[in-house]
Amino acid sequence: MSAQERSADRLARAWLSACVEPGLPAVGALLDRVGPGEAVRAIAAGRAVPGVHGAHDDSPHATARAVLAQAEQAGLRLVCPGEHAWPAGLGGLADAGVLHGRGGPPYGLWVRGDHDLTDLVGQAVAVVGARSSTAYGDDVAGDIAAGLCDAGVSVVSGAAYGIDAAAHRGALAVGGTTIAVLACGADVVYPRGHDGLLARVGQQGLVMSEAPPGAHPTKVRFLARNRLIAALTQAVVVVEASWRSGSLNTLKWAGQLGRVGLGVPGPVTSGSSTGVHLAIRERRADLVTNAAEVREAIAEIGSERIKGSPTWGLGAVRDTDGLEPLQLDVLESLPAADDDALTSDEVAGRCGRDPIAVRRALVSLAQGGLVGCADGRWRVRRRRAPLPGEAGARTLL
Amino acid sequence: MSAQERSADRLARAWLSACVEPGLPAVGALLDRVGPGEAVRAIAAGRAVPGVHGAHDDSPHATARAVLAQAEQAGLRLVCPGEHAWPAGLGGLADAGVLHGRGGPPYGLWVRGDHDLTDLVGQAVAVVGARSSTAYGDDVAGDIAAGLCDAGVSVVSGAAYGIDAAAHRGALAVGGTTIAVLACGADVVYPRGHDGLLARVGQQGLVMSEAPPGAHPTKVRFLARNRLIAALTQAVVVVEASWRSGSLNTLKWAGQLGRVGLGVPGPVTSGSSTGVHLAIRERRADLVTNAAEVREAIAEIGSERIKGSPTWGLGAVRDTDGLEPLQLDVLESLPAADDDALTSDEVAGRCGRDPIAVRRALVSLAQGGLVGCADGRWRVRRRRAPLPGEAGARTLL
């Protein structure tokens, strides 16, 4: 892609972020088919796209420039797919389905802070949970976050009251790196009481959002945001969640994405732990009690990172040279078709290996692009859709 | 078996209980091969049997009569294999291996209380845990025990301080039936402080032991006793256990026997819950938070009880008419040989069904005698060893 093309791409994505609700599947499909420039032309011209309303714009170019100028004033930069700073983990969202009408990779990300986003999410864990947390939950969330940071793992959370804040604070307290992923603009202070906290996270880590500068949070944006928290991390740890906690939605995204789901138990007499206990009972989360156990759960993902760079397509060679024996066993046990996709427990049964080790192997294979996970079921990855700019990409609408 | 043979059998088992340590594998093997009468003659005559010391006895008949008389005075009755009151669940111990040098069905059981033992263990759950429990653990154990009793489930425990006592008390409080399985004689008060508790359990439920009247508890007898608690129940619930709690040994027996292992979580900051959390992490126990969830875990075992009476051996017909579709799937996924035995997760993978439902199906099949579990791995059951009195039983030593 030329510098000019890249600049046009960024303008188009800035416009999409500003004028279209985040995570609309129809917009994601359009982007996949025609690329951002064509997508913007179609939507701005008033072409009907499911979920898009009132995005008619006679001068999308000017709108996009204004958004980028507003972002620059607010200290935000735009990060786009294909750029160095774009975290590879977000790619998993392309296969991870839709929850509450939202899904797919973000059109772009607005980031505040000095760090490089990809550096920070090389080893990253989400620590999320109830807004109405207990002192016990806050203590444990803070301890786990601090323990992860001590081991060089970034802590990702949502900057909400309760567990999220405790996780960020635990990371900040030990000088660790922490990322706040917001449902509002990355320059907006929400909740208002977290003015100081968000400022510190922006200094010591990163504050980011797929919503444009100045955007206010809405319920559906919170739900859409949760998929980013899961996609940016290797594991989601839920510390306290009632039956209806939004953090269970983040855990669900972890499952859809093939990330490791973890839960911290509490007293069965505490309503703040019922959602976590249910998730553990239903095996949507494994029980963890401290940072060391969280690190253990993602250890093999880091150490077994796939060497080589698998290439796909007609006549392409599948690169499995760098794989561990367990990964090879797991790969051989997987079906290729969506209909036959297996749960990780089923894969474990097929290859006769420990279910927890098998799940870790699946996650590591997914990070290497060799396997896909949708709806919690695994299969060998299909040939991926071509990226914008690649052969076959810019067919017309 | 004639009345005279039965009487001789009972005398022999009374002698074994009184003169030989419980759960010795070599004695169990001898019983299997030659029956109790021959076994007593061999041991009393001084024949070397591993684990048996100082059991030489010139008049075993008189010794046995004295033991039975002592038992009668203490209000204890002897229950022996093959009798109506002998719980079928104890048969699973024949295949369940050895832990800490102890295993196999008891030689006989000494029982105190008016109830019929088989009636009480038709639906029974063990609620066990730490002696050094917290108020939280005691509360939860009592609540779960009461909830189980309200639903007609008997609560089995070990009458120790802490969780065991809380479980018995919870059962007694709602007028439920509870069974104390002791490591000392069923007429011995241990611990001393549980004088009143044991008296109430004996009135409202049963107190029992494989140790003879007057026997004192020893460490190895506690460990041997734990296998009875697991074998008499459909599930073992551990409420609070530190890393080294004896209740984890009971949980291990549950795994060996193919019983459902359950654990109640607590604060991760509490040392009294570390053993439970570890067991849940390692999938030796499923997380439960209340009596309803415990009942759910054993529900299918009760409702899917196998009709018909499978017969085995050369030319025998396998009776699978009464099985549910899931049970049939599970049965078809199982290997027949020990070497190929599968974990329940592996079975779930093979038949592509929910792991928890598959485990319940396995437990129900095991209770029907169709499948066997050893060391936590499952297979189709081999032809069972002939019982004493059956063809092929009384071959000489």
Q: Is the pLDDT of residue A318 over 70?
A: no
Give the pLDDT confidence of B5-32 residue by residue, as tens digits: 999 999 999 999 999 999 999 999 999 9
Distance CA A49, CA A41 (A): 12
What are phi and psi for residue B181, nearest 5 degrees? -105, 115
Give the pLDDT confidence of B241-256 residue by residue, as tens digits: 998 899 999 999 999 9
Region of B255 (left: φ > 0; alpha: ψ -120 to 50; beta: rest) is alpha
Confidence (pLDDT) at B194: 96
How many helices and strands (H and E) does chain B possess? 14, 13
Lowest mean pLDDT, pick from A52-56, A106-110, B321-325? B321-325
Which of the four pLDDT bands, split at 50, 70 and 90, describes residue A244?
A: confident
Q: Which residues of A touch B274 (CB under 8 A)?
A: 289
Q: Helix, strand, or coil here: B261?
A: strand
Of all residues in chain A, the one with the smallest CA distance to B280 is: A287
Picking from B268, B290, B346, the nearest residue to A268 by CB comes out as B290
Q: How many CB pairs under 8 A join A and B?
A: 84
CA A197 to chain B, closest CA, distance in angstroms equals 26
CA B126 to chain A, closest CA, distance in angstroms equals 19
| Yes or no, beta carbons of B345 and A355 under 8 Å apart | yes
Q: Which residues of A touch B265 (CB under 8 A)?
A: 265-268, 273, 277, 280, 287
- Distance, CA of B267 to chain centre: 30
CA A298 to chain B, closest CA, distance in angstroms equals 15
Confidence (pLDDT) at B321: 61
Which of the four pLDDT bands, split at 50, 70 and 90, describes residue B315?
A: very low
The 10 Å CB-count burial string (b at 16+, else e) for A112-147 is bbebebeebbbbbbbbbbbbebbebbbbbbbbbbbb
**Which one, of A348, A183, A176, A193, lies nearest residue A250 by Cα?**
A183
Percentage of residues in chain A having pLDDT higher than 70: 89
Q: Is the pLDDT of residue B384 over 70?
A: no
CA B354 to chain A, closest CA, distance in angstroms equals 9
Q: Is the pLDDT of residue B313 over 70?
A: no
| Yes or no, beta carbons of B277 and A264 under 8 Å apart | no
Distance CA B101, CA B5 (A): 31
Q: Is the pLDDT of residue A132 over 80?
A: yes
Q: Which residues of A touch B281 (CB under 8 A)?
A: 286-288, 293
Residue-level length of chain B: 397
| Yes or no, beta carbons of A269 and B139 under 8 Å apart | yes
Q: Which residues of A touch B240 (CB under 8 A)?
A: none
| Yes or no, beta carbons of B283 and A355 under 8 Å apart | yes
Q: Which residues of A touch B268 (CB under 8 A)?
A: 140, 264-266, 289-290
| Yes or no, beta carbons of A267 and B352 under 8 Å apart | no
CA A376 to chain B, closest CA, distance in angstroms equals 13
ipTM exceeding the 0.95 mark: no
Q: What average pLDDT does the segment B317-323 reach?
A: 58
| Yes or no, beta carbons of B287 and A281 under 8 Å apart | yes
Q: Provide the mean pLDDT of chain B.
A: 88
| Yes or no, beta carbons of A136 and B342 under 8 Å apart | no
Confidence (pLDDT) at A311: 31
Give the pLDDT confidence of A332-361 residue by residue, as tens digits: 888 877 778 888 888 888 887 887 788 878
What are phi and psi for residue B354, nearest 5 degrees? -60, 130
Confidence (pLDDT) at A228: 98
CA A117 to chain B, closest CA, distance in angstroms equals 32
| Yes or no, beta carbons of B281 and A293 under 8 Å apart | yes
| Yes or no, beta carbons of A350 and B355 under 8 Å apart | no
CA A260 to chain B, closest CA, distance in angstroms equals 14
Q: Which residues of A touch B288 (CB under 8 A)?
A: 281
Mutation target among B133, B239, B273, B281 for the A interface, most CBs of A within 10 A: B281
- Report CA dihedral (A203, A206, A209, A210) to the nearest 10 degrees: 130
Q: What average pLDDT does the segment B315-339 reach?
A: 70
Give the pLDDT confidence of A260-305 residue by residue, as tens digits: 999 999 999 999 999 999 999 999 999 999 999 999 999 865 443 3
Question: What is the set of domains in chain A, with CATH numbers?
Answer: 3-73 (no CATH), 98-302 (3.40.50.450), 325-380 (1.10.10.10)
Which of the four pLDDT bands, split at 50, 70 and 90, describes residue B191?
A: very high
**Which one, of B13, B18, B45, B19, lies nearest residue B31 by Cα?**
B13
Q: Which residues of A touch B342 (CB under 8 A)?
A: 349, 352
Q: Is the pLDDT of residue A390 over 70?
A: no
Lowest mean pLDDT, pick from A66-70, A112-116, A315-319, A327-331? A315-319
Q: Is the pLDDT of residue B240 over 60?
A: yes
Q: What average pLDDT does the segment B43-71 reach?
A: 94
Which of the four pLDDT bands, split at 50, 70 and 90, describes residue B364?
A: confident
Q: Which residues of B touch A286 (CB under 8 A)?
A: 281
Contact A222, A196 (CB under 8 A): no
Percentage of residues in chain A having pLDDT higher than 90: 71
| Yes or no, beta carbons of B348 and A346 under 8 Å apart | yes
Confidence (pLDDT) at A352: 79
CA A275 to chain B, closest CA, distance in angstroms equals 11
Q: Is the pLDDT of residue A377 over 60?
A: yes
Q: Which residues of B touch A356 (CB under 8 A)?
A: 283
Q: Is the pLDDT of residue A229 over 80?
A: yes
Region of A396 (left: φ > 0; alpha: ψ -120 to 50; beta: rest) is beta
Q: Provide the mean pLDDT of chain A.
A: 88
Contact B265, A259 (CB under 8 A): no
Mutation target among A268, A295, A344, A379 for the B interface, most CBs of B within 10 A: A268
Q: Which residues of B touch A140 (CB under 8 A)?
A: 268-269
Q: Helix, strand, or coil here: B38?
A: helix
Contact A261, A236 (CB under 8 A): yes
Picking from B277, B289, B356, the nearest residue to A268 by CB comes out as B289
**Which one, of A41, A87, A82, A32, lies nearest residue A61 by Cα?**
A41
Of all residues in chain A, the one with the smallest CA distance to B377 is: A352
Tokens of A266: 């509490």
Please, what sign has the CA dihedral across residues A331, A337, A340, A341?
positive
Give the pLDDT confidence of B263-308 residue by residue, as tens digits: 999 999 999 999 999 999 999 999 999 999 999 999 865 443 333 3
Q: Is the pLDDT of residue A218 over 80?
A: yes
Q: Which residues of A touch B349 (CB under 8 A)?
A: 342, 345-350
Lowest mean pLDDT, pick from A161-175, A382-396, B106-120? A382-396
Give the pLDDT confidence of B329-361 residue by residue, as tens digits: 888 888 877 778 888 888 888 887 887 788 878
Confidence (pLDDT) at B387: 46
Region of A58 (left: φ > 0; alpha: ψ -120 to 50; beta: rest) is alpha
Which of the four pLDDT bands, split at 50, 70 and 90, describes residue B319?
A: low
CA B325 to chain A, closest CA, distance in angstroms equals 19
**Which one, of B149, B85, B93, B148, lies nearest residue B117 by Cα?**
B85
CA A352 to chain B, closest CA, distance in angstroms equals 6
| Yes or no, beta carbons of B266 and A265 under 8 Å apart | yes
Distance CA B122, CA B238 (A): 20
Please, what sign has the CA dihedral across residues A97, A99, A102, A108?
negative
Which of the four pLDDT bands, split at 50, 70 and 90, describes residue A189?
A: very high
Give the pLDDT confidence of B155-172 residue by residue, as tens digits: 999 999 999 999 999 999
Q: Is the pLDDT of residue A378 over 90?
A: no
Q: Which residues of B touch A352 (CB under 8 A)?
A: 342, 346
Picking from B264, B290, B348, the nearest residue to A345 by CB comes out as B348
Q: Is the pLDDT of residue A317 over 50?
A: no
Distance CA B277, CA B286 (A): 10
Of all residues in chain B, the one with the smallest CA distance to A342 is: B352
Contact B379, B334 (CB under 8 A): yes
| Yes or no, beta carbons of A267 and B345 under 8 Å apart | no
Q: Is the pLDDT of residue B215 over 90?
A: yes
Q: Is the pLDDT of residue B80 over 70?
A: yes
CA A101 to chain B, closest CA, distance in angstroms equals 27
Predicted TM-score of the model (pTM)? 0.80
Lowest mean pLDDT, pick from A141-155, B228-242, B299-313? B299-313
Q: Which residues of A touch B352 (CB under 8 A)?
A: 342, 346
Q: Is the pLDDT of residue B309 over 60?
A: no
Distance CA A157, CA A131 (A): 12
Picking from B265, B286, B348, the nearest residue to A265 by CB comes out as B265
**Which one, of A180, A187, A183, A195, lies nearest residue A70 by Cα?**
A187
CA B293 to chain A, closest CA, distance in angstroms equals 10
Q: Which residues of A touch B289 (CB under 8 A)?
A: 268, 274, 277
Those residues with Cβ within 8 angstroms of residue A185's Cβ, 6 or more apart along the chain or in another chain? A74, A76, A110, A209, A211, A212, A213, A214, A215, A216
Confidence (pLDDT) at A301: 55
Distance CA B198, CA B187 (A): 9
Q: Is the pLDDT of residue A32 over 50?
A: yes
| Yes or no, beta carbons of A348 and B352 under 8 Å apart | no
